[in-house]
Homo-oligomer: A and B are copies of this chain.
Amino acid sequence: MNDRQGFASDNVAGAMPEVMEALARFNNGFAASYGDDEVCAQAGDLIRGLLDTDAEVHFVASGTAANALCLAALAQPHESVLAHEHSHVATDETGAPGFFGAGMSVIGLHGTSGRIDPAALALALDRPDDPHWQSPAALSLTNATEYGAVYAEADLAALIAPAKARGLKIHLDGARLANAVAAGFDPKAVARLGVDVMVLGGTKAGSTPTEAIVLSDKTLNRRFGARLKHAGQLISKSRFLAAPWIGMLETSAWASRAGHANAMAARLAAIMPFEVVHPVEANAVFVAMDDAVLARLAETGWTVGRVLDGSARFMCSWATKPEAVDILGAALKTVA
């Protein structure tokens, strides 16, 4: 694969050097398994430090699984989770929340650029309980959003407060929290906001496969190991899911490399000859592009796809090179 495919997603990048170094470092010797090892403990401490919270931390290999498992821990099968209608949990996980939750459903809410409209949330919260629909038990938020926007702390607070007032639990999909943080979002806000459980993204930030489940509501931690194992999510050689976090967090790499990804998106937006349809606050650029243009782009070897709202998405990562952005910019001008 060459640089022309590098904008397809942030998961086509490899792992950053800090991750590879840590994997090699913690490979030495024997280590306890199933999360009982020192590497998991150390990585957990770094995450607790980052977030300034005394949460329980578990590591899994898949973000889809991490989100779905957490939602299933928050809502009963006959209940639902409120989320943005275009959020990953609502649209891009092949029904995983329904599988982990035994038929639990995700109810989609409107809002621009992946941010939930408070009025849409209010409407959903106002609907009375009824045996004939799945009443919500949790609110799922995503920061940065699926459309590259970043919620400010106050924006999240405005959604969390009414949800908590109705007794809902709060889930944060932080697959791209590093990008939000690089854009100015304070990671310590997660705890302040009363998020009950967060999935902190490692993979898209530039790691080998690892996501951290952060249980700020520690009552959720009861028998959580069994919950993970039962759902096929308890990895035996857990050190290999924990070590990348040490590599990313003992340095500033997790946030600074996300800052690089964000900067590459900004660089691309600045030279973009097509209409940019969402705010470029994180590591993605969404543009209006007709089929003919997309086809011409594909002909010259660039991999770009449409997303759910019809826009074309260009995704940057820690591995995106400035010169690749510039070449892409030139190519776009050619097909425009």
For residue A5, CB closer than 8 A to chain B, the reply is yes
Interface residues of A in 6-45 (CB under 8 A from B): 6, 8-9, 11-15, 20, 23-24, 26-35, 37-38
Interface residues of A in 213-245 (CB under 8 A from B): 223, 225-237, 239-241
For residue A135, CB closer than 8 A to chain B, the reply is yes
Are the CB atoms of B30 and A12 closer together than 8 Å?
Answer: yes
State the Cβ distance, A68 to closest chain B Cβ, in Å: 6
For residue A112, CB closer than 8 A to chain B, the reply is no
Interface string of A165-207 (1 = CB under 8 A from B): 0000000000000000000000000000000000000011000
For residue A145, CB closer than 8 A to chain B, the reply is no
A273: chain B residues at CB < 8 Å are: none
Q: State the CA gap A110–B313 with chains docked (Å).
A: 28
A11: chain B residues at CB < 8 Å are: 33, 236-237
Are the CB atoms of B226 and A31 closer together than 8 Å?
Answer: no
Integer count of this chain's copies in the complex: 4
State the Cβ distance, A87 to closest chain B Cβ, in Å: 14
| A contact residues, range | 35 or more
Chain B minimum-CB-distance residue to A226: B78
Are the CB atoms of A235 and B102 closer together than 8 Å?
Answer: no
Q: State the CA gap A267–B97 with chains docked (Å).
A: 47
Of B1, B230, B235, which one neighbours A209 at CB under 8 angstroms? B235
Are the CB atoms of B99 and A231 closer together than 8 Å?
Answer: yes
Of B1, B37, B69, B79, which one neighbours A38 at CB under 8 angstroms? B1
A28: chain B residues at CB < 8 Å are: 14
Q: State the CA gap A5–B239 with chains docked (Å).
A: 15
Of B12, B99, B227, which one neighbours A33 at CB under 8 angstroms? B12
A319: chain B residues at CB < 8 Å are: 30
22 A-B pairs, CB-CB below 8 angstroms?
A1-B32, A1-B38, A11-B33, A12-B32, A14-B27, A23-B23, A23-B208, A61-B61, A64-B232, A77-B99, A77-B102, A78-B94, A78-B223, A94-B134, A95-B98, A99-B231, A100-B103, A130-B226, A131-B234, A204-B236, A209-B235, A209-B241
Name A's B-contacting residues (CB within 8 A). Answer: 1-3, 5-6, 8-9, 11-15, 20, 23-24, 26-35, 37-38, 61-66, 68-69, 72, 76-80, 92-105, 129-135, 203-204, 208-209, 223, 225-237, 239-241, 319
Q: In the complex, given contacts A11-B33, A12-B31, what are 20 additional A-B residue pairs having Cβ atoms less than 8 angstroms apart?
A: A1-B29, A1-B37, A11-B237, A13-B30, A14-B28, A14-B29, A62-B234, A65-B231, A77-B99, A92-B132, A93-B132, A93-B230, A95-B103, A98-B98, A99-B231, A131-B234, A134-B226, A203-B236, A208-B237, A231-B232
